[in-house]
Amino acid sequence: MGEWLGQMIEVDVTNIAHGGVSVARHDGRVVFVSDAIPGERVLVRITDDKKKSFWRAETVKVVTASKHRKDHVWSAASIDRDPDNRAGGAEFGHIELSHQRTLKAQILRESLERMAKVTHAPVVEVVPGDDERNGLGWRTRVSLHVNDAGNLGPFAARSHRVISVRDLPLATPELSAAAPLDQNFAGFERVDVLNPSSGGVRLIMGKQKPQVITELVGEREFSLLDSGFWQVHHGAAEVLTAAVQDAIDPELFDPAASNLDLYGGVGLFAAAVGDKFGPATKITTVEAESSATDHAAQNLSEWLGARAETGRVDRWLRQLVTGASATERARLERATVVLDPPRSGAGREVVELLASAAPAHVVYVACDPVAFARDVAFFAEKGYTLRAVRAFDLFPHTHHVEAVGTFTRD
């Protein structure tokens, strides 16, 4: 291995893969190619030939272009640049916007078919206003990195090399205008730039003390720390709130059951459930980060039956199911559970613990189609069927896609 590293070859791109890369073959070997579109012939440079089963490569030149190719929305990531100097974070920016969604839907559908043996074909839905802005101006949070010279920028695609840029077209106009791209930050490793719903743009650098910010979802306010998690797209929290509310079947929902919001953050989805079913709704949100739990308690204070607990979801569930009384088990069996795990998914242990509680209804918010499909298979093993799934384009010009799946007991 190693003799092909850095060499140029021409390949025909035949498919899309998870992770923002396309699929080609060379002498029978799979080659994962960045900055290409299925249907194209491209000249690529081999960047990784260590595996016997596949290589990785970067597109250097487009020989035969797809009809869906267009000029990249971000010049810093353009095909005209050497692959080593292309900014990361907009890996679908060379693809026509509606075709990006077609590819994302294909990845989700094929992941579910391959890993969970189920067939669902959701259309990737658009956040209102995104098409009018050509998928730009949506990011409310950007992490920028500092090189040895103190220059600020994003990492290059698939590396930790900092790329100096003049603009941030995926960021909101306010964030883009305020980002200190031309300033020197020697002595720091990273600068986070935030544009929350209120209070203006702010920078987070080094070990500065986190500050409380307010995010708005419709007319509802959520307090959280500026270092905490919140949806990146300015419209995502509102879109997902509505999607979770729509996913819950009123005939299955029992406001007096032991309803759960797992990986609950600052209470966004617990609030969505409470807003739909009323202030007496019983729901417990569980989050590992104690500062988020503190804010969840505040954000959910108007619901009499809402609680916020700190704990790792796997440990918390294990304690719940092993210590539940007969009465509590009956409440769990009538429950609706919303879970929004990290990109790695919930995983087998959490799915099995949750299934052992036997809730009537599960709504899963997923930000990774492969991890989601794997968990769908785990749920199926435990007697839960994926009844419906919707998908949302909350990350235009990237390969990421959000899904909301609804499960019921067989």
User: 113 and 198: one domain?
Assistant: no
Q: What is the CATH number of the domain that holds 62?
A: 2.40.50.140
CA 306 to chain centre: 26
Residue among 401, 327, 341, 330 at smallest CA distance from 376: 341
- Give the angle 227-229-230 at the CA atoms, nearest 5°: 115
What is the structure's pLDDT at 389? 98
User: 283 and 378: one domain?
Assistant: yes
Q: Which of 247, 367, 370, 391 is catalytic?
A: 367
> Is residue 352 assigned to a domain?
yes
Show the DSSP H helices in 187-285 as ranges: 236-247, 268-277
User: 43 and 114: one domain?
Assistant: no
What is the structure's pLDDT at 52? 81
Quote the crossing angle between the two packed helices 347-357 and 313-323, to the nearest 10°.
30
CB of 185 closer than 8 Å to CB of 176: no
User: 365 and 243: one domain?
Assistant: yes
User: 260 and 326: one domain?
Assistant: yes
> Is residue 283 assigned to a domain?
yes
SS3 content of the chain, % helix, strand, coil (to 5): 25, 30, 45
Output the six-digit token pair for 273.
């459930």
> Is residue 357 assigned to a domain?
yes
User: 376 and 276: one domain?
Assistant: yes
In which region does residue 324 sit, left (phi positive, over 0), alpha (psi from -120 to 50) or beta (all else)?
A: beta
The boundaries of the domain holding residue 179 are 141-215
CA within 13 Å, CB half, 136:
15
What is the structure's pLDDT at 208? 87
Using DSSP bridges, classify how beta strands 54-64 and 41-48 pair: parallel, antiparallel or unpaired: antiparallel
Residue among 407, 390, 392 at smallest CA distance from 351: 407
User: 398 and 286: one domain?
Assistant: yes
Binding-site residue set: 231, 263, 287, 340
Residue among 222, 233, 273 at smallest CA distance from 395: 233
Distance from C-alpha of 213 to C-alpha of 228, rounded to nearest angstrom: 10
User: Which residue numbers in the chain have pLDDT < 50?
Assistant: none
Query: Mind listing the pLDDT tens digit for each residue in 300-323?
Result: 999 999 999 999 999 999 999 999
What is the structure's pLDDT at 105? 98
Distance from C-alpha of 140 to C-alpha of 137, rounded to nearest angstrom: 9
> Is residue 375 assigned to a domain?
yes
What is the structure's pLDDT at 110? 97
Binding-site residue set for S-adenosyl-L-methionine: 231, 263, 287, 340
User: 295 and 360: one domain?
Assistant: yes
The residues, ordered by sequence, that sit 6+ positions from 216 with a Cβ below 8 Å of its Cβ are: 197, 198, 222
- Any idea what DSSP says for residue 233? B
Tokens 């905490």 sit on residue: 228
What is the structure's pLDDT at 1? 53
> Is residue 77 assigned to a domain?
no
User: 344 and 203: one domain?
Assistant: no
What is the structure's pLDDT at 197? 94
Q: What is the CATH number of the domain that holds 361?
A: 3.40.50.150
Distance from C-alpha of 60 to C-alpha of 41, rounded to nearest angstrom: 11
Please confirm, yes or no, whether 367 is among the known catalytic residues.
Answer: yes
- Structurally, how many domains does the chain consist of? 3
- Any idea what DSSP says for residue 3? T
Tell me the three-class secondary structure of 92-131, residue by residue. Answer: CCCECHHHHHHHHHHHHHHHHHHHHCCCCCCCEEECCCCC
Whether the CA torsion 75, 76, 78, 79 is positive or negative: it is positive
Whether the CA torsion 371, 376, 378, 379 is positive or negative: it is positive
Of 25, 41, 69, the last residue of a domain is 69
